[in-house]
Structure 1
Amino acid sequence: MAWELNGRTALITGAASGIGAALARALAARGMRLGLVDVDGDALARVAATLPGAVTEVADVRDRAALDTAVEDIVERLGRLDVAVANAGIATGGPARMVGPDAFEDTIDVNLLGVWRTARSAIPYVLEQRGYLLLVASAAAVVPAPGLAAYSASKAGVEGFGRALRAELLPHGVAVGVGYYLFLDTPMVREGERMAGFNRMKKGLPNPISRTWPLEPAIDATSRGIERRARRIAYPPFVHGLMALRGLLDNGVSDRITSRLVPGMEAAFTEEAQRVGPDAAARPPRR
């Protein structure tokens, strides 16, 4: 049964750019009142300036106390919380045995533990409204790729957490969805393509997986999914098929196909790491 979103409230982390900013605009167009959280206060203010009535809080999802305070303040200002979207995330790329440990562990901290912290902070308020949580994972949770070990592990963890949380909250009237997206036209993907190892790996994946997909249809699918309180939201749509086939994809054949990308990806990463260091080589370059 579809929700009427008009007049409801939503919290979005990672709201200063990419999926978070675009989703904020789409939900505002449906009449939702928004609480936006991001670590980049200047970018967050620019997004909020285009959304009358949106309230903002600057917080890092790695900081549990700051995030708790941000969510509490947003609920106080909005009066209630119907929807929470745990979207904040970062990308790193490179062979797991070669990337700097800080880059790998930061990815897990932001992408997985940040989602957990967001959900933990929001659940008491969403519970009061018998609302909806959307945890943003990735198609990498379904089809992990070489060079994206940290990212794939973090997003697989989000999926597992979301599926368990869904069952836990179902008796309380709260629905939990997990979002799965391929490469979308966002700053994170565009910046990732400037990383030698990531770019080499992405270009080597088969079409249509290697394609960068437009953001707007993904946001439309996400907005409709929130209206339906959907268990799964995926874009492009064939990602649903990948989920159905994941048991067949987890075999020696798929490993051999993707492993062909490794020598070139390792060479590109090694060259970059020698220039800037293994941690910097695994992260998007600074503008």
Structure 2
Amino acid sequence: MGEVSPLQGRTAVVTGAARGVGERVALALARRGARVALLGHEEGRLAEVAVRCRESGGTALPWPVDVTDDARMADVAREVGRRMGPASVVVANAGIAAGGPFERTAPDTWRRIVEVNLVGSAVTARAFLPALLTTRGYYLQVSSLAALAPVPMMTAYGASKAGAEAFASGLRAEVAHRGVAVGLARLSWYDTDLIRASDDHRVMRELRRRLPWPADRVHRDDRVGELLVRGIERRGAVLHLQPWLRLVPALGPLLPALVTLGARRALSRLDEAGTDLAPTGLLGPGGKADGTAGDGNAGG
């Protein structure tokens, strides 16, 4: 008989839970016997994930919500507490992305990415912090390699992830003495709807392939949810889903220089070929849903 997870019977909140990394984390939490609050935008998808969570042995309820809406998020936090109990775990995963040259990206699109990925994380923390203080719980900020390395043609995404890391690190120092732990989860490219949508665009696909190995790889490991939940169980400060990510901060200016070199060569060749470097718009089904109703849940 296996050990009982410390998450069993606890309430866990996952934003961006309709698909991608958020969906996988929610299912892994449910397998631990957690009560999972599924926050995101695609109501039908959230309902489907809730059913799968219940089939996995947990309890789950969906809450359609825009993570940048302070008032609605505060309402949802109260509803979660009333119906499921105070949150012991909050996973800030909601995120959207777009590709294309900065100079040609619509200002509203660039701003929206920062609002969802950075401001939405802060709104999530603000809404659920009272519960986490009560439970002496754990807040996990899902981040990305993009927070540590330049991301040509995805400047808003890179800036938002770097900002989210800085926010989470500052929050950790602020609430540690009150018993709340704050963690960062750093991921490289995962095979999600967002990444597949990015690879549909020749320029984005070419730039990713020009990244230095192993940063150019797309991981198709369905264990991403399990790996993150193991980190949640131990209340980890920094979770690196690929071991080599631990080395990235130590590389200093080397990785940015390599990325810049590869991007310069790729973009020069594409320019010479007359390739249209048109902006992609918000990527994937989550990005499409955000564009029609204003929330991001495309994953990390």
TM-score, normalising length: structure 2 = 0.86
* Change in CA separation of 1:267 and 1:150 when aligned onto 2, cut-off 3 Å: farther
Shift of 1:249: 2.5
Identity %: 37
Cα distance between partner residues in 1 of 2:168 and 2:271? 33
**Structure 1 residues 266 and 72: CA distance shift in structure 2, 3 A:** farther
One of 186, 191, 202 as aligned partner of 2:197: 191
Q: Return the offset for 1:119.
A: 0.7
Q: Which residue of 1 aligns with 2:282?
A: 283
Select the residue among 65, 68, 71 that pairs with 1:65.
Answer: 71
Answer yes or no: is 1:160 the counterpart of 2:159: no
1:9–1:266 CA distance, 2 compared to 1 (3 A) = farther
Aligned partner letter, 2:159: A
Alpha-carbon separation, structure 1, partners of 2:35 and 2:272 = 48
The separation in 2 between residues aligned to 1:45 and 1:261, in whole angstroms, is 42
1:11 aligned partner? 13
Residue 231 of structure 2 is aligned to residue 259 of structure 1: no
Say whether residues 1:82 and 2:88 are aligned partners.
yes
- Which residue identity lines up with residue 23 of structure 1 in the other structure? V
TM-score by length of 1: 0.90
Q: Contact 1:213–1:236 (CA<8 Å) still a contact in 2?
A: no
- Once the two structures are superposed, the pairs formed by residues 70-219 of structure 1 within 5 Å of their partners are 70-219=76-225
Question: Structure 2, unaligned stretches of length 5 or more?
Answer: 289-300
Residues 1:131 and 1:105: Cα distance change in structure 2 (over 3 Å): same
- CA deviation digits over 1:121-174, x for unaligned, max 9? 111111101000001111110112211211100000011001100000101010
Aligned residues: 279
- Choose which of 34, 37, 41 in structure 2 pairs with 1:32: 34
Looking at structure 2, the residues matched to 161 and 3 of structure 1 have their Cα atoms a distance apart, in angstroms, of 29
**Aligned equivalents of 1:85, 1:63: Cα separation in 2:** 17
Whole-angstrom CA distance in 2 between matches of 1:18 and 1:254: 26
- Equivalent-residue separation in structure 2 for 1:193 and 1:253 (angstroms): 21
Instruction: Give the RMSD, CA atoms, in angstroms.
Output: 2.3
Cα distance 1:192–1:254, how it changes in 2: closer, same or farther (>3 A)? closer
Structure 1 pair 269–184 and aligned structure 2 pair: CA distance change class (3 A): farther
Greater relative CO, 1 or 2 (CA 8 Å, sep 6+): 2
